[in-house]
Amino acid sequence: MALRSTRTTDGGSTPDGPSRPVEVSTDTLAGREVHPVDELLPPVKLITTGLQHVAAMYAGVVAPPLIVGAGVGLSPAELALLISASLFTAGLATLLQTLGVWRIGARLPFVNGVSFAGVAPMIAIAKEHGPKDALPVIFGAVIVAGVLCFLAAPYFCKLIRFFPAVVQGTVITLIGVSLLPVAVNWARGGSPAAPGYGSMRAIGLAAFTLAAVVLCNKLLRGFWQQLSLLIGLAIGTLLAFPLGLADFGAVQDAKVFALPSPFHFGAPMFDAAAIVSLCIVMVVSMTESTADMLALGQIVDRQADEKTLAAGLRADGLATAISPVFNGFAASAFAQNIGLVALTKIRSRFVVAAGGGILILLGLFPVLGSLVSLVPQPVLGGAGIVLFGTVAASGIRTLAEAGMESSANTILVSVSLGVGIIPIAAPTFYDAFPEAVRTLMHSGISAGCVMAVLLNLLFHHVGVGRRSPTGETPGAAVSTATPS
């Protein structure tokens, strides 16, 4: 095996200010430099850190099929099949995104899973079409939405010029802030129907897990420090058993092995209203994926240019179009894993690819998936506070580099954050609005992102005030990307 060393190089400068130094790994035998994103880690480190990514996203992957399956009225066996399908297709999407094929895949440590944005429209479709046709109609609409995303990717990615550092920092901060209520809900037990929801036992377990993650990060060094989240999850889960907050029932009932059955619920059906609804959802998911890729590019010191964004969106679209074949739903970015990259500082895309491989195994071997599900929601909540807070902190760091002495940028950030926090603080605020508006604005990330882009256009691209005395456009991003 080639010996590797690391050194720091000056990454140059960007229109928004000097970039941070980039640490590169050098293959001393081959004499070539490797960016940390492209570094292949030793097998043990690869698998354990990949497992951390799976632990961070598992609840988010299984929640949409659980909700939709219950809304459709599936039996427990069919619900288990739907969950396995979501794990399997999330793994395929993650491999496609991290490893890439041709011009498909961002080739960043970018996790893909089941998009939560489509849950409400899919429940509405289920109510309209009834239990028999609900899933075939949903799957047909998901296929069309995926094809739309794939075809629109090279055009949608050109929006990068409207994402300067001040917009990126705002959106990254909103990603973290929007996810924190999810962690708080997990800390209380995950669902009001869960036994002991909101009890001191649940909240105490979450606090203990949070303290374990923080102390592991403080006291451990090197590889073990990078596993602080996984160690904290393990410690929290062990404590959950004597507290009566862990359940072996899922392990006892799970099958050992199950191959995905193509179109198990019937051939896809194409309904115009359902297609329009999920295409709107796909546009929202594309907006969030674009923001997530920009955020991740900042964290790993590899800027996501137009070419990268187009490749990432193509992967989203192709994975979404293929997922229904294996009884899965739309695939999009999982922002919580961006926090894990920032926390561990492990930037290798092959780590996330290993996580994708683990997800595929969990889908093929339901008994393995049930073992991961042993981690109680309060334990995930305690760890989630660290993860999601880390994302928000990364956004604040980006804003600090974005020229906040400008009054225009101050207004942009304050209004965008305010609009983005509305659906977090008041989830029913947009209930009286048309469905298309609700779909867009119910997500704090997409609502704040749209507002930030619009205000950037107003302050830096429109009217006589768009240029500085030097003739440059303040706050506007300059894309150096090659054509997609």
Whether 385 and 180 have beta carbons less than 8 Å apart is answered as yes
Which tens digit of pLDDT belongs to each residue from 109-163? 989 988 777 776 887 788 778 888 999 999 999 999 999 999 999 999 887 778 7
Domain assignment of residue 472, yes or no? no
Mean pLDDT score, 174-181: 82
pLDDT at 94: 96
Q: What is the pTM assigned to this prediction?
A: 0.73
Based on the fold, state whether residues 23 and 125 are members of the same structural domain. Answer: no
pLDDT range class, residue 344, cuts 50, 70, 90: confident
Find the range with the poorest average confidence among 46-50, 102-106, 166-170, 264-268: 166-170
Neighbours of 53 (CB within 10 A): 29
Taking alpha carbons only, the member of 32, 27, 33, 29 closest to residue 9 is: 33
- Asked if pLDDT for residue 474 goes beyond 70, the answer is no
Count other C-beta atoms under 10 Å from residue 446's C-beta: 25
Give residue for tokens 């500082």.
Answer: 345
The radius of gyration computed from the CA coordinates of the chain, to the nearest angstrom, equals 22
Q: Are residues 57 and 18 in the same domain?
A: no
**Which residues span the domain enclosing 9?**
4-34
> Is residue 146 located within the same domain as residue 27?
no
Q: Which two tokens stand for residue 80?
A: 């288990």
448 and 347 within one domain: yes
User: Quick one: 214 and 348 in the same domain?
Assistant: yes
CA distances from 18 to 211, 266, 398 (A): 35, 55, 12
Q: What pLDDT shows up at residue 64?
A: 84
Structurally, how many domains does the chain consist of? 2
For residues 59 and 23, membership in a common domain is answered with: no
Same domain assignment for residues 268 and 287 = yes
Range in 69-73, 158-162, 371-375, 475-479 the model is least confident about: 475-479
pLDDT value at residue 12: 35
Name which of 44-58, 124-138, 211-225, 463-477 the model is least confident about.
Answer: 463-477
Indicate if 23 and 97 belong to the same structural domain: no
Query: How confident is the prediction for the chain on average, in pLDDT?
Result: 82
The answer to whether 416 and 455 have CB atoms below 8 angstroms apart is yes
Q: Of all helices (H) and strands (E), which one includes residue 57? A: helix 43-72
Same domain, 14 and 86: no
CB 289 within 8 A of CB 155: no
**What's the rounded mean pLDDT across residues 217-241?**
86
Q: What are the residues whose beta carbons fall under 8 Å from the beta carbon of 93, sequence distance 6 or more?
A: 112, 113, 315, 316, 319, 320, 323, 331, 356
Q: Residue 106's pLDDT is what?
A: 94
